[in-house]
Structure 1
Amino acid sequence: MARASPACWPAPACCNADFNEARLERYLVLAHAAGITPVVVLTKADQADPAPYVAAAQGLSQGMAVVALNAKSGDVAALAPWCRAGQTVVLLGSSGVGKSTLANSLSGGTLATGAVREDDAKGRHTTTARYLLPLPQGGWLIDTPGVRELQLTDVADGIDVLFADLIDLAADCRFRDCKHSVEPGCAVQAAIKAGRVDARRLDSWRKLTSEEVTNSQAMVAAKTRAAGKFTKKSAAKRRPN
């Protein structure tokens, strides 16, 4: 996506058992790393009390917009501020959260939609390709296939944005190499004990940081190997017969 035009990245999630904070954090990291404004859209708000889901989503990132709605109703009007001329909306989320239904309501389109399985509330893949759709307000919408797994690579900046509160706290730790575990004078652990920080966020910060480092190192190694093979092939072609 061209960064020349303002864009937002609605990450749809359901107001039901499929709601997953850790999964949402991955989408938010990816959005921040790309310089895109994330907006969490909680679909199927007519099936349960959306308040606890809204509170949980808002707790993931300070000041982030969270919208709970029924994608089949006029609730979608709440997303109008992000659908205006010069803006591009990208829908990203798991199968069954209602991305195509939301895309149809926003664009007036007729993308195929599917039911979710009754046993686990999860959906089957309905969208199997990316679609670029014009919006009545003048913007554009990109509907994407459901994401089964999202591995993070080269998104360190996005992690820093999402966990900026923990990074700020860590700066006040007694030791610069504090692991935020059992070290004395740990400002992060102090905030957790005081109830100002959820311990789950610290675990998530550690996990995503470790994954990002491992995957980024693997990507660099793969590129190095590929470059080496290319160099050898080029040298072989230049050798006289």
Structure 2
Amino acid sequence: MTETTLTSLGWTPFFARQLTGDETGTPARVTAVHRASVTVLGPQGIATLLPPEQAGNYAVGDWVLHDGTVVIRLLDRQTEVSRRAAGHVALRQLIAANVDTLAIVTSCNADFNVARLERYLAMAGAAGCLPLIVLTKADEATDADDYVARAQKLSPLASVIALDARNPDAAKRLYPWCKDGQTLALVGSSGVGKTTLQNLLTGIADTTQGMREDDAKGRHTTTSRALRPTLAGGWLIDTPGMRELRLTDAAEGIDTVFGDLSELAQQCKFNDCAHEREPGCAIQAAITDGTIDADRLARWQKLLREDEYNSETVAEARARYKKLGKMYRGAQDARRNKRGDDL
């Protein structure tokens, strides 16, 4: 990529429509988020900016307007990849923004997990991204086509590719999703080949580590997110391996992945059907005739319960922190006013 323009960075009419006639800021895209600042890239080059709010409110891939020193305004996101943050604190964690395609990377071995793939597909659906399933280590599998067939059954919207991540020619099969200013984000467990794919797609050599032979689980290599140019003319966001993926505000994404069950549920005799032993349950009838797998129903119900709980707790935490922030600012104002009276 010889010249950096707004178009080459992924600027589209969606963002241009957000500008007003009297805007004074310069558009740029966030390439990295730090503790108290963000790094951006625009036609004028790279800059480190101070945001007017917590840097954690920004995501790699965001578009901002700036004056060369501070962020003036964060533009609305076209897509937003997020999850409930790890740990006991109920907060939403931003993963990436303005991603065109979410590449879910797993391996043709013990790392292949249907329930986990469905979670990532639901994340893609909730974010508004196109889903792409990338199956690595296809060269080591006895029957890679079987893994492909199982992955394709999970979503009619997802494209599926099986490859050897170490093969430069195989990595070029991902070019259609990361060219002409398009942004591709890689997600998945540690050690499945995300960093290797990143190296081949960007020409940047990062440290990679192998898999543990006993359980096919890898060691973390990527520790932070960054927006990098690809050799195909687009952009790539690699993400650290996720030990747990807890969905929040993902009802629409879950409905996309389990569309067949959602449609069947509309045919049940009772509107509040729990799909267990109720008479006239269309889903149980489909399980009986072999159309639907009972395990798939259980995974759907589990994700719905989890998303409802996480979404409620995150919303409650957000309201609580907002209330605490108002109280803190009020106490600060009171102390300032008292000092003024004392003078």
Q: TM-score, normalised by structure 2?
A: 0.67
Paired position in structure 2 for 1:42: 135
Residues 1:25 and 2:100 are matched in the alignment? no
Distance 1:183 1:146 in 2: 41
Which residue in the other structure is 1:199 paired with? 294
Q: Which residue of 2 aligns with 1:89?
A: 184
- AA in 2 matched with 1:226: Y
Q: Which of 1 and 2 has higher RCO (CA within 8 Å, sep 6+)?
A: 1
Q: Match of 1:18, as an amino acid? A: D
Partner of 1:13: 106
Is 1:138 aligned with 2:229? Answer: no
For residues 234 and 181 of structure 1, what CA distance do their matches in structure 2 show? 51
Structure 1 residue corresponding to 2:166, chosen from 72, 83, 87: 72
Distance 1:108 1:216, change over 3 A: same
- For residue 99 of structure 1, the aligned residue among 181, 194, 216 is 194
Does the residue aligned with 2:199 lie in a helix, a strand or coil? helix
- 2:131 and 2:157 in contact (8 A); partners too: no
Contact 1:154 1:212 in 2 (8 A): yes
Which has more helix, going by share of residues? 1
Q: CA deviation at 1:151?
A: 0.9
Paired residue for 1:217?
312
Percent identity between matched residues is 52
Equivalent in the alignment of 1:3: 78
Mapped contact 1:113–1:126 kept (Cα < 8 A) = yes
Shift of 1:20: 0.6
2:266 is the counterpart of 1:171? yes
In structure 2, the partner of 1:108 is 203
Deviation at 1:158, TM superposition (A): 1.0
Q: Does 1:52 align with 2:146?
A: yes
Q: Deviations over 1:13-41 (max 9, x none)?
A: 00001111111111111111110001000
Structure 1 match to 2:51: none
Letter in 1 for 2:78: R
The residue type equivalent to 1:37 in the other structure is: L
Bigger Rg over Cα: 2
Mean Cα displacement is larger for which, 214-223 or 9-18?
A: 214-223
**Bigger proportion of residues as strand:** 2
TM-score by length of 1: 0.93
C-alpha separation between the residues in 2 aligned to 1:233 and 1:104?
A: 46
Q: Deviations over 1:161-203 (max 9, x none)?
A: 1111111111111111111111111111111222222222211
> What is the alpha-carbon distance in structure 2 between the residues aligned to residue 79 and residue 235 of structure 1?
52
Structure 2 segments unaligned to the other structure (5+ residues): 1-60, 62-76, 80-97, 339-343
1:228 Cα shift? 2.6
1:60, 1:215 → 2: CA distance? Answer: 23
Report if aligned partners of 2:187, 2:194 keep a CA contact under 8 Å in 1: yes
Residue segments in structure 1 that go unaligned for 5+ positions in a row: none
2 CA distance for matches of 1:154 and 1:63? 20
d(CA) in 1 for partners of 2:301 and 2:207?
39
**Displacement of 1:125:** 0.5
Q: Deviations over 1:77-104 (max 9, x none)?
A: 3222212212100000000111011111
